[in-house]
Amino acid sequence: MANVKIPDSVLVGPEGTKLKAWGSSKELSAVGKPRPKIGAQEKVTGSAIYAYDVQLPRMLYAAVLSSDRAHARIAALDTRKAEALPGVRAVLTYKNIEPVKWEQEGNILRDTVGYVGEPVAAVAAETEEIAYDAIHLIAVKYDPLPSVIEPLDAMKPGAPQLQKAGNVWQGKPVIYKRGDVEKGLKEADIVYEQTYTTSVQHHTTMELHGCVVQWDRDGLTVWDSAQGVNQVRDQLASRFNLPVNKVRVICKYVGGGFGSKNSAKHYHGLAALLSKRTGRPVKLFNTREDEFPVSRHRPKTIQTLKAGVKKDGTLVALYHKAIGQCGPYLDGAALGARATGDGTKSLYLCPNLMTEAYSVHTNTPLLAPTRGPGDTENLFALEQFIDELAEKVGINPLEFRKKNYAEVDQPHDNHHYSSKGLDRCYDMAAKAFGWGQKAKASAPHKKRGIGMSSLIWHGNRTEKSQAGVIIQPDGTAEVVAGIASLGVGAETIFTQIAAEELGMKMESVGIRWGDSSSTPYTINTSSGSRTTAIAGPAVRAAAADARHKLLKAAARLLGIKPTEIATLSIKDGVISTGDQSKKISVAEVARKQGRELIIGTGHRPPNPEDMAIEIFGAQFVEVEVDEQIGEVKVLRAVTAIDCGRWINPLLAESQIQGGFIQGMGMALSEERIMDSRNGIQLNANLHEYGMPTSLDVPDTNLALDPEVIDASNNINAKGLGEPPLVGAGAAIANAIYNATDIRVRDYPITPNRIVQALKERSSGTRQG
Amino acid sequence: MANVKIPDSVLVGPEGTKLKAWGSSKELSAVGKPRPKIGAQEKVTGSAIYAYDVQLPRMLYAAVLSSDRAHARIAALDTRKAEALPGVRAVLTYKNIEPVKWEQEGNILRDTVGYVGEPVAAVAAETEEIAYDAIHLIAVKYDPLPSVIEPLDAMKPGAPQLQKAGNVWQGKPVIYKRGDVEKGLKEADIVYEQTYTTSVQHHTTMELHGCVVQWDRDGLTVWDSAQGVNQVRDQLASRFNLPVNKVRVICKYVGGGFGSKNSAKHYHGLAALLSKRTGRPVKLFNTREDEFPVSRHRPKTIQTLKAGVKKDGTLVALYHKAIGQCGPYLDGAALGARATGDGTKSLYLCPNLMTEAYSVHTNTPLLAPTRGPGDTENLFALEQFIDELAEKVGINPLEFRKKNYAEVDQPHDNHHYSSKGLDRCYDMAAKAFGWGQKAKASAPHKKRGIGMSSLIWHGNRTEKSQAGVIIQPDGTAEVVAGIASLGVGAETIFTQIAAEELGMKMESVGIRWGDSSSTPYTINTSSGSRTTAIAGPAVRAAAADARHKLLKAAARLLGIKPTEIATLSIKDGVISTGDQSKKISVAEVARKQGRELIIGTGHRPPNPEDMAIEIFGAQFVEVEVDEQIGEVKVLRAVTAIDCGRWINPLLAESQIQGGFIQGMGMALSEERIMDSRNGIQLNANLHEYGMPTSLDVPDTNLALDPEVIDASNNINAKGLGEPPLVGAGAAIANAIYNATDIRVRDYPITPNRIVQALKERSSGTRQG
């Protein structure tokens, strides 16, 4: 790995000291090494406790009655039968609920509904069965209001207007430009334009969304299935006007989030209000059917790209217009305007560029970030479009990408990157994949194809973070972090960072997390591939503080002057002078500390101001397409990701493999099928929705580490949760084209669409 | 209150600063004020979650088969039928259990038993019913071993020897002496000797003893009903040889402990081993019947006092011999030798003094500290004896005590006390009580009497303690303390201490506690009336650290030099300069801190070395004795306690009232009735054991604050949990004598004993 200069500002240590810049993983003892994921065994053996497992004494069960209308006013609402059902303890509707603002504009329950699935009433009862029986006894009479489901319909004149500013979110598109696209197109030898669509992707977490809430004099305690403990806590405190120290969110294990469990949702609010009303704990979990409308999703998009290219392949102009579908309310709507993301703006050198993104209000459920939001939709379109451009100028897609490589971050004042290993990713992944080679298909009607995609994910983090490291009386260490365990492996990585800094063995370092109470504000929520890069440096700072205090205590015991503690170092839990003449174990120092534990705390130093930070990668796939039935089998995948330092190769591989599979699901099968007349989802169940199963995953799913040391923080990491998904779909689409000469530009590329396209081609109604 | 000089060493603040010595409570805003107990509403409304309430997925239920023999070897043990019972998942016996040392000498289950109630086997099953069915299916054949139940029998030659050192614990009595008792007795005008006995007192906690344990790869997690979270954690880590960071004890609420829930008991060990064996969580709670032998108790004692007094009432010699009954093992045996405690040694000036305490091994259940261990047994005897001496020399009992008042701590190098308000207690309690006045009885066969007692409880604490104070992003504060909530009010008191130091309103200060994980080592266990005096100063130190950091942050925001932060002060949550020219709220500073929370940590400074620390008090009661049926009704009680500063008068009153009632129970009704042939308790149930009920408590139970400011720590407090019980019994006994001229020297003074004594007196077989 090239020598990287880490700025002093990110290596600030305790009491004016400076942290050591870490070299390559080979020079380290805990960081860069595989450590099995903390909690993995608990999960597979069933001992991990999830929010759904929480049973409290006197706990009630809640159920929610949701709207089956896309847009309506509630003309009549009769809850008397439900209230009279034995075992029912509370029925909340807009008529009797206290005014608390929630996701939609206005109160948490209102006299109008804006999408199918919007809550209308909530019941708390002695059993789950009674609660569900009760919601069926609530009589609702709706007065229909004009509705619109499809974003293109919503943009037409005369469409029902869902927001004051119109159906386009904020009344206008989000525009970015540099140079002059029109001028660029005129200078180009070839101008090409194409349109792509992507479908709604649901998070489809294994663990349903929900929580157990207890609201008593001690405040609000929430056992949650959340991606973080602090954001939900802060939102609940703010919405209920409670002091922060009276709201506690507990979440140790999460059965998947992917962006849908970042924030306080309807179910949090309704469960809390039911608990407040009844004075008893309340458990409220979605059913699987509820999940589809209630747990939100990635927007569907319609994207048009237009580019001007020189004959030699130089990109001179790029225009990208994207229309995203959002729900009727402002909450989450910004996500509909993110498909013109980092890829279009930053991935290729292009002097004349403009993007125009519309998020369009419709009477459909609300959006939430969905693993790689924006950039995933962006690259699905862009990276197919790039392949098409390459073909137009007759250049190998990889060469085309390399030719237009951007050394600096064009949208951010052309700043140099804190690191950019995309070239390394291209080369090592292409080599490992055997780019250009294509094996023979297994049957004449089966066609093989190879394809690739670049990927980018925004790595610039400005948030603060804080962590703690406690040295226990027996010399073992405990990282204390205000995070939940989304499954991204942060807990494991933090122990490695702390072990490295402390000079202790990995197995001597544990971690406590999953509770907003008594922990520092380590991260608001694990999203945006931020946890390692945001919180990791704070953990290192906290460990450095603990180390400093350990060395001061050791110096006292060894008779070394406080000014000379820099001569001490720690290795494998033993503190010694450089000449080994004096030594003492961490355990002995800790034992002598007794009950006055060493508590290290640390903050994340801010990023250097003059650096752009982005995550890059390259993905290569080989597919086999059965032209008879349109089925696509992904045979193998190779992904190389420059996410900065790989703190734990085992977990990095796992993230890359999992992310690729989720991207594959989006590319090939996952789709929300909605009746555009009434806004009712027709496949709101796991069977028909079409998630990949273990039978669909490629036999080879290789993850490669380009060994990049990033300069933006003290652990040299940028983030890895989302990137592996971002480029997967386009690589698969490009491989399908390579196999069949068919480009299906509407995702997902289902067997139906392939068969249809093949038919159109053979009947002459389709080209390419 | 007299001016007290608080040594600088206990007022150490952060970064070389000095804490302010607190004046009288009138000058303070949070400390010394009544604040309702945190958690009280949760308890009375049923929302408080106790260990017994914890339900985990896949949880098994355990039951324990206990020995019904006092001393035996297990000749045969057949568990096949139990193991074959559907739903049984594990049966542990000495035959298949891994070697783990526990309470008795040797393994946690052994092939011999030493008392009725000692565990023989433990079962884990799918339901509680199956577990109890299973233990009845275990066939045990015992070979009897020679046993001894009564301590006096055990001291006889030829008694079965239960320990290598003999039946006297450690082979010899614990002896203390000063001066020359024989010489003193010779110099005396009057020599008097008398013998008293006390019975076993059970803790009889409302919440049964037990825990829920989960042992998985993450380590051992225990939802416990414990007096602290750290001592149980440390003991489990040590006995199971686990790193401390792999053992977590969670205990927020406790339904009473009184000394029996300090440490890891058999049920912890058996539940943990069953969880390890089955890979599933295990709930193990005693039945109420189990409680009596298993949850331990206060020892029964036989005490002889002998004194020499001058005619003028000057005490010149005192000898005290006490025999306590302990179980067959070393664990807990030390408690049998504590009846010659602080009272005899310290309460009265006496130049010639000797105490001799024997703890005697018998085949009876084990001892645990029981609210006021040692000193309670001590004062039951001593304070009656003092009244008898006063009568011998014809001096009013209060005057006699004042005459022999000890200004210095005789057993501790005659050190001066950090405070001694016993004289104030005598005077204010006597005045409030109306000492010397006695109302007319309500019927001729009913007799009224008044009595008093001094009390003393050892206040010298040398343990370290650490606490945290976090300023939340909205400016509210959270005390972080590694404690459980025994009901002593520590949580509430800590918030008051923090609010006082921070200059914040009480309602802005919350607390998180009840979890050994992510908390400092604040106290090992709440016992010995130590929590306030041990942990309170650490909380103040932590709050001072947070305050210091708050002021530094405020100074930056206000443009004040760091060297001038001493000019800033905080009042009602607003930080301002002395002239009020610059001000900023704590909430604003906290908001600007964002995610980098202010975390204060602090240690308890050590006690000044040259001070003796003891807690004192005086208790006065009036009783009415029904001479027909022997029933004693306590009509009113007045207690004044010098426990240093009363941090929260509401809680102090509550402690004093509760403690008095528990002492009353011991004096009048609570008794273990055991068959001394076989060691079987005959009244192992609440109905026959004889705890006082709400109908038995005095209508007036007054608590008085002598307003003592103690100099031994930064909060001027000494401790209050146990003292109110310590003198209650003797005061009642003295009042009964005053009413009836009958001294029943065997506790409890039950109607039977009174009627018997009255009969003996009228038949001439008894004097006094």
Q: For residue A85, give the CATH number of its domain.
A: 3.90.1170.50
Within a 10 A sphere around the Cβ of A133, how many other Cβ atoms? 17
A416: in domain: no
Query: What pLDDT does B767 receive?
Result: 65
Q: Which of A465, A466, A470, A467 has its CA nearest to residue A546? A: A470
A59: in domain: yes
B83: in domain: yes
Hey, are the CB atoms on B521 and A595 less than 8 Å from each other?
A: yes
DSSP category for residue B255: S
Looking at CA atoms only, how far is residue A201 from chain B in angstroms?
A: 32
Q: How far, CA to CA in Å, does B304 sit from each of A110, A264, A379, B255, B725?
A: 79, 69, 92, 36, 22
Q: How many residues does chain A have?
A: 768
> Cβ distance B139 to B82 under 8 Å?
no
Q: Residue B605: is the preceding peptide bond cis (ω within 30°)?
A: no
> Is the confidence at residue A2, as pLDDT, over 80?
no
Three-state secondary structure call for residue B632: strand
Hey, are the CB atoms on B56 and A53 less than 8 Å from each other?
A: yes
Please state, in angstroms and rounded to a whole number, the distance separating the CA atoms of residues B113 and B73.
6
Q: Residue A748: is the preceding peptide bond cis (ω within 30°)?
A: yes
Q: Summarize pLDDT for A461-495 with one digit per residue, the tens.
A: 889 999 999 999 999 999 999 999 888 899 999 99
Q: Summarize pLDDT for A12-27 with one digit per residue, the tens.
A: 999 999 999 999 999 9
Region of residue A279 (phi > 0: left; psi between -120 and 50: alpha; otherwise: beta):
left
Chain A contacts of B38, Cβ < 8 Å? 218
Q: Summarize pLDDT for A404-424 with one digit per residue, the tens.
A: 999 999 999 999 999 999 999
Same structural domain, B95 and B224: yes
Same structural domain, A116 and A212: yes
Hey, are the CB atoms on B216 and A243 less than 8 Å from each other?
A: no
Q: For residue B402, what are its two tokens?
A: 């004042």
Looking at CA atoms only, how far is residue A95 from chain B in angstroms?
A: 28
Hey, are the CB atoms on A245 and B478 less than 8 Å from each other?
A: yes
Residue found under tokens 């954001």 = A231
Q: For residue B467, what are its two tokens?
A: 């606490």
Hey, are the CB atoms on B45 and A470 less than 8 Å from each other?
A: no
Same structural domain, A14 and A135: no
Of A216, A463, A477, the CB nearest to B45: A216
**Closest-CA residue of chain B to A237:** B474
CA angle A197–A198–A199, rounded 5-degree value: 130
**Closest-CA residue of chain A to B592:** A464
Is residue A722 part of the annotated active site? The answer reads yes
Looking at CA atoms only, how far is residue B35 from chain A in angstroms?
A: 14
Query: What pLDDT does A358 receive?
Result: 98
Looking at CA atoms only, how far is residue A379 from chain B in angstroms?
A: 33
Hey, are the CB atoms on A520 and B57 less than 8 Å from each other?
A: no
A569: in domain: yes
Same structural domain, A25 and A61: no
Interface probe with A: pick from B42, B56, B244, most Cβ of A within 10 Å: B244
Hey, are the CB atoms on B53 and A53 less than 8 Å from each other?
A: no
A533: in domain: yes
Looking at CA atoms only, how far is residue B271 from chain A in angstroms?
A: 16
Q: Summarize pLDDT for A568-618 with one digit per residue, the tens.
A: 999 999 999 999 999 999 999 999 998 899 999 999 999 998 899 999 999
B340: in domain: no
Please state, in angstroms and rounded to a whole number, the distance separating the CA atoms of residues B137 and B132.
9
> Cβ distance B494 to B539 under 8 Å?
yes
Hey, are the CB atoms on A217 and B41 less than 8 Å from each other?
A: yes
Three-state secondary structure call for residue A642: strand
Hey, are the CB atoms on A478 and B594 less than 8 Å from each other?
A: no
Looking at CA atoms only, how far is residue A238 from chain B in angstroms?
A: 10
Same structural domain, A102 and A21: no
Query: Which strands sit side by side in the sheet containing A119-125, from one edge to the other?
Result: A88-92, A119-125, A60-66, A282-285, A210-216, A219-224, A247-250
Q: What percent of chain B has pLDDT over 90?
A: 93
Hey, are the CB atoms on A243 and B476 less than 8 Å from each other?
A: yes
Please state, in angstroms and rounded to a whole number, the distance separating the CA atoms of residues B11 and B282.
47
Chain B contacts of A243, Cβ < 8 Å? 472, 474, 476, 508, 510
> Is the confidence at residue A507, as pLDDT, over 50?
yes
Chain B contacts of A478, Cβ < 8 Å? 245, 517-518
Final residue of a domain: which of A264, A294, A324? A294
Query: What pLDDT does A3 receive?
Result: 54
Query: What pLDDT does B438 receive?
Result: 76
Query: What pLDDT does A1 receive?
Result: 46
pLDDT-derived band at A767, boundaries 50, 70, 90: low
Beta bridge partners of B727: none
Domain span holding position B140 = 51-145+206-294
Same structural domain, A120 and A224: yes
**Closest-CA residue of chain B to A467:** B596
Give every residue of chain B whose pLDDT is below 50, as ranges. 1-2
Same structural domain, B20 and B71: no
Active site positions of B, annotated: 722
Same structural domain, A472 and A571: yes
Single-letter amino acid, residue B551: L
Average pLDDT of the residues in A691-718: 96
> Cβ distance A371 to A206 under 8 Å?
no
> Cβ distance A188 to A316 under 8 Å?
yes
**Count of structural domains, chain B:** 2
Chain B contacts of A482, Cβ < 8 Å? none
CA angle A508–A511–A516, rounded 5-degree value: 165
Of A45, A477, A519, the CB nearest to B279: A45
Looking at CA atoms only, how far is residue A335 from chain B in angstroms?
A: 25
CATH number of the domain where residue B496 is located: 3.30.365.10
Interface probe with B: pick from A517, A522, A531, A586, most Cβ of B within 10 Å: A517
Q: For residue B210, what are its two tokens?
A: 């037990």
Hey, are the CB atoms on B218 and A38 less than 8 Å from each other?
A: yes
Of B56, B470, B521, the CB nearest to A597: B521
CA atoms lying within 13 Å on the CB side of residue A346: 26
B162: in domain: no
As a whole number, the mean pLDDT across chain A is 95
Give start and end residues of each alpha helix (H) in A241-368.
266-278, 288-294, 342
What Rg do the C-alpha atoms of chain A give, in angstroms? 27
Chain A contacts of B244, Cβ < 8 Å? 472-474, 476
Query: What pLDDT does B1 receive?
Result: 46
Q: What is the ipTM of this complex?
A: 0.88
Same structural domain, A17 and A104: no
Final residue of a domain: which of A549, A576, A603? A603
Hey, are the CB atoms on B216 and A515 less than 8 Å from each other?
A: no
Chain A contacts of B509, Cβ < 8 Å? 245
B230: in domain: yes
Beta bridge partners of A216: A219
Same structural domain, B26 and B55: no
Same structural domain, B216 and B280: yes
DSSP category for residue B187: H
Same structural domain, B17 and B84: no
Of B46, B510, B597, the CB nearest to A520: B597
Final residue of a domain: which of A603, A628, A658? A603
Of B42, B476, B477, the CB nearest to A217: B42
Q: How many CB pairs under 8 A join A and B?
A: 153
